[in-house]
Structure 1
Amino acid sequence: MFKTIEETMNWIHQLLPHGIKPGTMRMERVLERLNHPERSLRTIHVGGTNGKGSTVSFLRNIYQKAGFDVGTFTSPYITSFNERISVNGEGISDEDLIKAANIIYPYVKELEGTDLGTPTEFEVVTLIGIVYFAKINFCDLVIFEVGLGGRLDSTNVIAPLVSIITNVGMDHMQYLGNSIQEIAREKAGIIKSGTAVITASDHPDALKVIQETSEEKHAKLYVFGQSFHITDHGGDDEECFDFSSVFSHYSNLTTKMKGFHQLINAATALMAVDYLKTYFALHVEEEHVIQGIKETHWPGRFEILTADPLVILDGAHNPEGMHALAETVERYYKDRTIKVLFASLTDKKNEAMLEEVEKIADELTFTSFDFPRAAKADELYGYSNHPHKIQADDWQHALAGMKRDADENDVILVTGSLYFITEVRQSFNLNKHQ
């Protein structure tokens, strides 16, 4: 059994070589041996290509303002591993992480000699989260973010009060399929019989799949633009908007989460709040909605690291995310000089992402970082037709130079990969402590 956090984390991370094993059979076997702790939880399930983390954060803040103890299970992490399993925004303690790991360890070991095989790292982390929320730090509500896809994801063992599919885009095609329809079927796999579904997906092919799946499962479907709407009032330092649904109307809501896409994420969360208030008596007052939306922030999403020079981090890592980022830059910094530092992974749709980046970039610097699947700077450079592009293998040196040479009209935008954003963000935090 584990006595230290180092032993615990070494065990979790050594499971990585087992890779991705689609399916929930291993999860179900261990949960059965644990007498199904997941059945004691009231949950919300959040899937989709982009916007999952922001939607989870909006939900968490609203319910926390209403006095609920709210658990969240998210991935990947931006600041520390422990934040993936949080209650009221506070990551699981090392002591509780050790305790939860020790609870599941014997049952995980049991599987090693079976046809099902050893659970993956993500499955084990999901099991730790379920045990923590159900047995160690019981919550009024737990919000689970899908890790990959939906149908075969390890989180798809819960029976949620409501399911959310933020949108569907071309990402993780090697696992989910090469068309919007195929990917949508995987995302729609979280839809449960008789359980309502909320979606902001606007791609006709994806929406058709979600509608068909909802009908098959007799699940009530609420679609953005049909069952719930927003009116965008713009803003300077924050966004302002109205929200209306079949259940409610809110005027002049504000959020520091910048970009029209964040208004859609907020609306999706509000639709879920309306639904759960109406059908499950999860009572939330208007003031909780106003404050929850206003105070929501999510690291690495159009996050300003420094104001002079202006350095913005954004974890856009697929074409749809990059399109939303480009729109947000245009929305706020249309008359500024945009200098982009870009790093990505080899298995991403980099050419399609760069088409979006090049629409806003006055200068484009390609770099790389220390990660197994990180693309080389020269590889990314070769994808681009931008007239003002350079490559730099050392991102820290490149960013330091961009900051040194920046004038008051420059905006330095660091983007391309969530893993890259995490590394850059951590370096800034370290610098602040030095």
Structure 2
Amino acid sequence: MTFTKAQDVINYLYSLPKLHEKADLSYIKKVLTFLDNPQDKVKTVHVTGTNGKGSTSYYLSSLLQKAGQKTGLFVSPYVFEFNERIQLNGQNISDQNLVEIANQIELILAKIRRENPAFSLVTFEYEVVMAFLYFAREKCDYAVIEVGIGGEHDKTNVIMPEVSVITTVGLDHEKIIGPTLQDIAREKSGVIKKNRPVIIGNVPKEVLPIIQQKAQEENAPLIQLGKDFKIIPNESLTLKTKSQKLSFLPKPIVEGYDVGVAVEAFSMLGLPLSQNNIIDSINRTVVPGRYQVLQNNPLIVLDGAHNIQAVQNLLNYAHCEQKRRQGQVRILIMMMKDKDIAQVFDLFHATDEVYLTTIDYPRAAKKKDFPQWIQEKYQYMSDWQAAYQNLKQKSQTNDILLVTGSFYLVGNILQMETKNAGSRY
């Protein structure tokens, strides 16, 4: 197969299977071996976590670029376009490079299929191979690699990173890497490698011993939030470590944790960067669709929170703002059918105005997919554009409007607002 257009590549990727029968790394390792192991030709930082791994990856990428490093970034999901998944120095991979890289992989797959006609990569494997191949071809100094799901069995776990990161451990993807929090912690600790430092963020105390034990087994130096570095939210966001104290522009506390983890991970790499440049890099970083403020009066925040931990964090932030502003919290939420819908809706306050919506996507929950008590309690608006515009107009200066539940909804609204503004957000 030969591709000529980027959209053909993207369509093909989404036509591939999502999972193999066995959750091992043999398929991706075979392809990477045929490609001369591009993942070993670039220094990497490996980032996992139930929440915060995307933000941490963006902050790390910015710090590396500020330090003069040619930096690759592999993240998911995307907000504006697929090409965001694979970035070089903050720029999305071009359509031309996407096509070239995919065609290179197709040549290798054709060779493998001569011996094994049924051989195939799943979607995420193909994307990971594309990223490693691109970063090696462009001779990156470093690449920040965000895990897809989990850690030990994730398709990105074919690298020997300079530093590993575990941002948080919470309940999400329980059917794949659970069902318990302990199972999830064990899976995520799979990114810890022998003699390589690991930075951990806001990890629950009950699973901390699992990660500590894995680090000890691998002789991996462990740097821990709350013990080795602290985040202090005041007028500004302050990071305090054993060797320095840095103050950034104000951010929600959970974003602050991600900042702290990113700065600590960067410090492990031994690259020279002044305190002023670290502060400037963090302050200038925009993480798409994560606590992204569209406007302040009323406060409109877009965040792709789609699991219990992330939604709870977002609501904590909104209710703190509510006390300060003395306004109304409104929430426009869309969720996927396979998420913990009932548990998420248990988190809302009685005074929150919550509105349900959906988008044109197979996994998106429609009204009938919500539990009966949710259908009866909250208003459902099938047209997400009309719902958003309605709530935006309804919100007064001191009110707060959250758009959440899915990066798909957040991405759609960001694109709509960008189009309305006549320029890219």
TM value normalised by structure 2: 0.92
Task: Give 1:250's aligned residue.
Answer: 245
Q: Secondary structure at the match of 2:168?
A: coil
Contact 2:329–2:399 (CA<8 Å) still a contact in 1?
yes
Mapped to 2, the partners of 1:340 and 1:85 lie a distance apart of 31
Query: Could you tell me how far 1:363 is from its partner in structure 2?
Result: 1.0
Q: Report the residue type matching 2:238 in the other structure.
A: F
Contact 1:339–1:361 (CA<8 Å) still a contact in 2?
no
Residue 342 (structure 1) aligned to one of 333, 343, 358: 333
Mapped to 2, the partners of 1:333 and 1:382 lie a distance apart of 29
Mapped to 2, the partners of 1:118 and 1:287 lie a distance apart of 48
Mapped to 2, the partners of 1:363 and 1:20 lie a distance apart of 43
1:241 equivalent to 2:238? Answer yes
Q: Secondary structure at the match of 1:22?
A: coil
Pair 1:353–1:19, CA change in 2 (3 A): farther
Task: Give 2:352's aligned residue.
Answer: 362
Mapped to 1, the partners of 2:359 and 2:371 lie a distance apart of 15
Contact 1:200–1:223 (CA<8 Å) still a contact in 2?
yes
Query: Could you tell me how far 1:157 is from its partner in structure 2?
Result: 0.6
Q: Secondary structure at the match of 1:154?
A: coil
Task: Give 2:152's aligned residue.
Answer: 151
Mapped to 2, the partners of 1:304 and 1:395 lie a distance apart of 19
Q: Secondary structure at the match of 1:125?
A: helix
- After superposition, residues 93-172 of structure 1 pair within 5 angstroms as 93-112=94-113, 114=116, 117-135=119-137, 137-172=138-173
- After superposition, residues 47-58 of structure 1 pair within 5 angstroms as 47-58=48-59
Query: Could you tell me how far 1:260 is from its partner in structure 2?
Result: 0.5
Task: Give 2:367's aligned residue.
Answer: 377
Q: Which runs of 5+ in 1 are unaligned?
A: none
Q: Secondary structure at the match of 1:208?
A: helix
Q: Secondary structure at the match of 1:166?
A: strand
Residue 287 (structure 2) aligned to one of 285, 290, 298: 298
Pair 1:343–1:399, CA change in 2 (3 A): same
Pair 1:220–1:94, CA change in 2 (3 A): same
Mapped to 2, the partners of 1:381 and 1:337 lie a distance apart of 25
Task: Give 2:313's aligned residue.
Answer: 324
Mapped to 1, the partners of 2:56 and 2:64 lie a distance apart of 12
- After superposition, residues 8-27 of structure 1 pair within 5 angstroms as 8-16=9-17, 22-27=23-28
Q: Secondary structure at the match of 1:200?
A: strand
Query: Could you tell me how far 1:299 is from its partner in structure 2?
Result: 1.3
Mapped to 2, the partners of 1:22 and 1:32 lie a distance apart of 19
Query: Could you tell me how far 1:13 is from its partner in structure 2?
Result: 2.5
- Cα deviation digits, residues 287-323 of structure 1 (max 9, x gap): 2211112112211112222455543211111111011
Q: Secondary structure at the match of 1:276?
A: coil
Pair 1:373–1:42, CA change in 2 (3 A): same
Task: Give 2:379's aligned residue.
Answer: 390
Query: Could you tell me how far 1:56 is from its partner in structure 2?
Result: 0.8
Q: Secondary structure at the match of 1:242?
A: strand
Contact 2:10–2:82 (CA<8 Å) still a contact in 1?
no
Contact 1:20–1:120 (CA<8 Å) still a contact in 2?
no
Aligned-residue RMSD, C-alpha: 2.2
Query: Could you tell me how far 1:78 is from its partner in structure 2?
Result: 0.9
Residue 275 (structure 1) aligned to one of 249, 252, 268: 268
Mapped to 1, the partners of 2:375 and 2:103 lie a distance apart of 53
Task: Give 1:421's aligned residue.
Answer: 410
Contact 2:290–2:303 (CA<8 Å) still a contact in 1?
yes
Contact 1:259–1:331 (CA<8 Å) still a contact in 2?
no
TM value normalised by structure 1: 0.90
Contact 1:180–1:206 (CA<8 Å) still a contact in 2?
yes
